[in-house]
Chain A
């Protein structure tokens, strides 16, 4: 009788331990998830965050900013869910501000992007990029027989339509859509 009681007690004790262990596991996993999420959007102290980049343009932004040769911290995330543009990319660059020319270049591949200037972990300024009316020496003309592909000439394009982007070469007058755009 005594033995049976103690068996029940032991079983209860074991169940309790199991629950506690499960709780512990849950607790252990939660911070890990949290840190993964944190890693994805880890904050930078000083620098620039480019958000709302269309997923397929994320690496074009990396290329435009020549981040391969940047020495500061760089975080690149892509295929993130976005309410505004469906799937998006984010690029965070520590210790780097953007020139107007760089912002204009980004606007061409990511017209919906926002550029956040970060100072001391805070968003100091939020800039909505704007496709300029004239694009000087940023885009390569897709027409192989355009003079700009055969002589040393700075390219120049007029923006015909902003959404979807359509630009026209100042020299050969050929129109190009977003899919033909190659950054110099």
Chain B
């Protein structure tokens, strides 16, 4: 399977076999790091909106492989302010770099960037559409902590309506015969379009607003933040804020080997007391961002097959 020059734009572009191939490359990268693999290669990190984890982990991944990073972390320091189109910015950037990572507030921007560029483009998040490297690291974390991806009972709790990470992960996991449990108040439940897709793929799922109802069934619980910025009315946010809380009381009624994940940052969804338990997988999840991004950079630059 050859990923050289392949763009990483949406999880929907990848088959089950391709996802498994990438995860194998991540494992390889984690177990046998090749520190000079990307020596002499340049990554352009174009961050048109703020990001902490994604930008830092891409930079760290590239530098760990002896590559160099150029770019910017806010659009107001660039020619965008002078009215330059995204297309032109990408056409200019590809002259300076071997691979581009882009984060942009407009949905579909990464796809357009990939069409403009002759070098591979990796989507670091396009609005609330896709963030495929996050999905890959979520999958890798599940595979690593549970030992498999197939036949798992996976719960998602929090803002399932707007949560980009949840949508992409659900679609990717639907290749592996899962049973899903969507735990959210009606106003923040999974959008119908995703439920339709699951129905068509014959994926089993349950919907509830009660966190405790299926807690004993779960192998993995993926917790998300209720995103304040999504609510036009602050009173609405107040209504849902703190509605679910994973604390020691919750741990009384779960499987012994339940793993709790969170894309971070968290607010108060997961009590700090959980951090030291063997259920907490969220810091490991964040750490997995490095080998995942190293593997993807090496794959698209043709240094790993």
* Interface, chain A (partner B; CB < 8 A): 143, 145-148, 150-153, 169-175
B108 and A148 form a contact (CB under 8 A): yes
* 3 nearest CB pairs, A to B: A171-B108, A172-B107, A172-B108
Cβ–Cβ < 8 Å partners of A148 in chain B: 108
The closest CB in chain A to the CB of B191 belongs to A175
**Shortest beta-carbon distance, A39 to chain B, in Å?**
46
Q: Does B87 contact A (CB under 8 A)?
A: yes
Q: Does B130 contact A (CB under 8 A)?
A: yes
B107 and A151 form a contact (CB under 8 A): no
Select one of B10, B86, B106, B130 contacting A146, CB under 8 A.
B106
Select one of A145, A151, A169, A175 contacting B105, CB under 8 A.
A145
The closest CB in chain A to the CB of B113 belongs to A147
Cβ–Cβ < 8 Å partners of B193 in chain A: 175
Cβ–Cβ < 8 Å partners of A152 in chain B: 85
B103-129 residues with Cβ-Cβ distance < 8 A to A are: 104-109, 111-112, 126-127, 129
- Given A145-B105, A151-B87, A170-B111, 9 other A-B contacts at CB below 8 A? A145-B106, A147-B86, A169-B108, A170-B108, A173-B129, A173-B130, A174-B107, A174-B129, A175-B193
**Shortest beta-carbon distance, A180 to chain B, in Å?**
12
Cβ contacts A to B, 24 pairs, < 8 Å: A143-B107, A145-B105, A145-B107, A146-B107, A147-B104, A147-B106, A147-B111, A147-B112, A147-B126, A148-B108, A151-B86, A151-B87, A151-B112, A152-B85, A153-B112, A171-B107, A171-B108, A172-B107, A172-B126, A172-B127, A172-B129, A173-B107, A173-B130, A174-B107
> How far is it, in angstroms, between the C-alpha of A150 and the C-alpha of B130 when the chains are bound?
18
Q: Does B12 contact A (CB under 8 A)?
A: yes
The closest CB in chain B to the CB of A171 belongs to B108
Select one of B85, B87, B105, B111 contacting A171, CB under 8 A.
B111
Q: Which of B85, B108, B112 has the most CB of A within 10 A?
A: B108
The closest CB in chain A to the CB of B115 belongs to A153
Cβ–Cβ < 8 Å partners of A153 in chain B: 87, 112
Cβ–Cβ < 8 Å partners of A171 in chain B: 107-109, 111-112
**Shortest beta-carbon distance, A89 to chain B, in Å?**
31
> How far is it, in angstroms, between the C-alpha of A147 and the C-alpha of B108 when the chains are bound?
5
**Shortest beta-carbon distance, A60 to chain B, in Å?**
24
Cβ–Cβ < 8 Å partners of B87 in chain A: 151, 153
> How far is it, in angstroms, between the C-alpha of A55 and the C-alpha of B300 when the chains are bound?
51
> How far is it, in angstroms, between the C-alpha of A143 and the C-alpha of B109 when the chains are bound?
13
> How far is it, in angstroms, between the C-alpha of A175 and the C-alpha of B111 when the chains are bound?
16
B108 and A146 form a contact (CB under 8 A): yes
A145 and B127 form a contact (CB under 8 A): yes
Cβ–Cβ < 8 Å partners of B106 in chain A: 145-147, 150-151
**Shortest beta-carbon distance, A184 to chain B, in Å?**
16
> How far is it, in angstroms, between the C-alpha of A20 and the C-alpha of B246 when the chains are bound?
94
Cβ–Cβ < 8 Å partners of B126 in chain A: 147, 172
B59-105 residues with Cβ-Cβ distance < 8 A to A are: 85-87, 104-105
